[in-house]
Amino acid sequence: MGTKLTVAVIFGGRSGEHEVSLLSARSVLSVLPADTYQVVQIGITHDGTWFSGENVLETLEKGSTQGLFRVMIKAEPGNPLLYAIENSAEGETLRPVANLDVVFPVLHGTYGEDGTLQGLLEMADLAYVGAGVLGSSVGMDKALFKDIMQNRGIPTLPFAVFTRRDIETRLDEVLDQAEGLAPYPLFVKPANLGSSVGISKVKNRSDLLEGLMEAASYDRRILVERGINAREIEVSVLGNEDPIASIPGEIRPSDEFYTYEAKYIDDRSQLIIPADIPDETGDLVRDLAMRAYTACDCAGMSRVDFLMDKETGEVFLNEMNTIPGFTKISMYPKLWEATGISYPELVKKLIELAMERKIDRSRTIHEYRREK
């Protein structure tokens, strides 16, 4: 490629993981060389407004949008432009500011990792890094993801799903049903969120009630799951049609489980790479990770997380993250670094995979052609 690719890096977002996204974006932006890429920064505020301009990341990190301008991407093909939204006497007008070749979403959680942004980019016919609408939405919804894994014969822990309305209208029944799932401890989680936001380890009925209310504040679907005394094993997956899996790593959290604070704040959790597990267990989790990845039609990247029972050695697939944490010290890139792919090489490869996926999508016919 003789000319530079224009890469739009999108970060922030209308999500409980907004701040984590900013951390990931800083690392990604640091390894996009100016002689290879024309980089456009797009920051999305907590309220969902898109901004671009100079020093977008630094401005959003300060909780400000001063000096930035609003932007949008049109949801129509054949027009891969980023537009500035300008106010005039006639109302809002659109001014093209960049011709985009590929979008690199570094958005964790809702409205970024759940298929919504991917749907917009599909409609705009833009190349983008990561899973498509299907893989993103399935990977995001922990309950639906577990249903699919069970259907494919991949082991998961017993779970039950409730809605916010269930909790509001039949709370006692929900509590009874959750307690019937397994003995305490149980885990309560928002079905659609990551970075351990809204997750509670509950040890009695009072904890359970509090955990349900907490999770319901983040999502309308709530997952309750059997808890085990587990080691947390993670595998990174990379690729489109022929994915590859990294060596496994282990998280040793500083808290009872890998909470938001243990991940991002207290700096005491340990990443053990490679994981100290038997070779056959390592082979098993790598195989299960790739099976889960292909079952959900993922593309680009994903981090697949497992729970390994400390007493029995049994392995259970926990969840899949289609836009995993992407700082240089996050597990996804560190596992690839240990497997032989450096952080800059990884980012470059993900952009190449996005372009490859776009070429494959362009082969699809979008109108019925009757033979005459």
> According to the model, what pLDDT value does residue 358 have?
95
**Residue 266 binned pLDDT confidence (cut-offs 50, 70, 90):** low
More confident residue, 270 or 107: 107
Q: How far apart are CA 267 and CA 250, in angstroms?
A: 16
Q: Are residues 288 and 146 in the same domain?
A: yes
The last residue of a domain, from among 226, 256, 279: 226
Instruction: Count the Cβ atoms, other than its own, within 10 Å of residue 152.
Output: 14
How far apart are the C-alpha atoms of 87 and 84, rounded to whole Å?
Answer: 10
Determine, yes or no, domain membership for 280: yes
Q: Per-residue pLDDT averaged across 161-165, rounded? A: 96
Considering the domain architecture, whether residues 278 and 174 belong to the same structural domain is answered as: no
Question: Does residue 369 lie within any of the structural domains?
Answer: no
3-state DSSP call for residue 85? strand
- Note whether residue 133 is domain-resident: no
The CATH number of residue 303's host domain is 3.30.470.20
Q: What is the pLDDT of residue 369?
A: 78
Whether residue 320 is found in the same domain as residue 250? yes
Q: Are residues 120 and 191 in the same domain?
A: no
Q: Determine whether 103 is exposed, middle or buried from the number of CB atoms within 10 Å of its CB (0-12, 13-18, 19+).
A: buried
Query: What pLDDT score does 214 carry?
Result: 94
Determine, yes or no, domain membership for 116: yes
Query: Is it the case that residue 259 has pLDDT exceeding 60?
Result: no
- pTM confidence score: 0.91
Mark whether 96 and 195 lie in a shared domain.
no
Domain extent for 312? 139-155+229-360
Token pair for 265: 């704040």
- Residues 6 or more apart whose Cβ sits within 8 Å of residue 69: 51, 52, 53, 84, 85, 86
Does the pLDDT of residue 112 top 60, yes or no? yes
The CATH number of the domain holding residue 186 is 3.30.1490.20
Q: Find tokens 């289609």 and name the residue.
A: 322
Q: Does 371 reside within a domain?
A: no
Q: Give the DSSP per-residue string, 195-254.
A: TTTT-EEE-SHHHHHHHHHHHHTT-SEEEEEE---EEEEEEEEEESSS-EE---EEEE-S
Query: Could you tell me if residue 265 is inside a domain?
Result: yes
- CA 31 – CA 34 distance, rounded (Å): 9
**Based on the domain organization, do 248 and 347 belong to the same domain?**
yes
Q: Does the residue 365 lie in any domain?
A: no
Q: Residue 1's pLDDT is what?
A: 43
303-321 confidence digits (pLDDT tens) = 999 999 999 999 999 999 9
267 by Cβ neighbours in 10 Å (0-12 / 13-18 / 19+) ranks as: exposed
336 belongs to a structural domain: yes
Work out how many domains the chain is built from and give that number.
3
Residues 12 and 64 in one domain: yes
Task: In whole angstroms, give the CA distance from residue 246 to residue 303.
Answer: 10
What is the pLDDT of the chain when averaged over all its residues? 92
145 and 266 housed in the same domain: yes
Do 263 and 124 belong together in one domain? no
Identify the domain boundary among 226, 249, 273: 226
- Domain match, 102 and 244 both: no
Q: Are residues 197 and 221 in the same domain?
A: yes
Question: How many angstroms separate the CA atoms of 306 and 51, rounded?
Answer: 37
| Distance (Å) of CA 281 to CA 271, 275, 276, 304 | 18, 10, 10, 15
Task: Render pLDDT for 43-84 as a digit per residue (tens, 0 to 9).
Answer: 999 999 999 999 999 999 999 999 999 999 999 998 899 999
What's 78's domain CATH number? 3.40.50.20
Same domain for 285 and 171: no
Q: Among 180, 199, 226, which residue terminates a domain?
A: 226
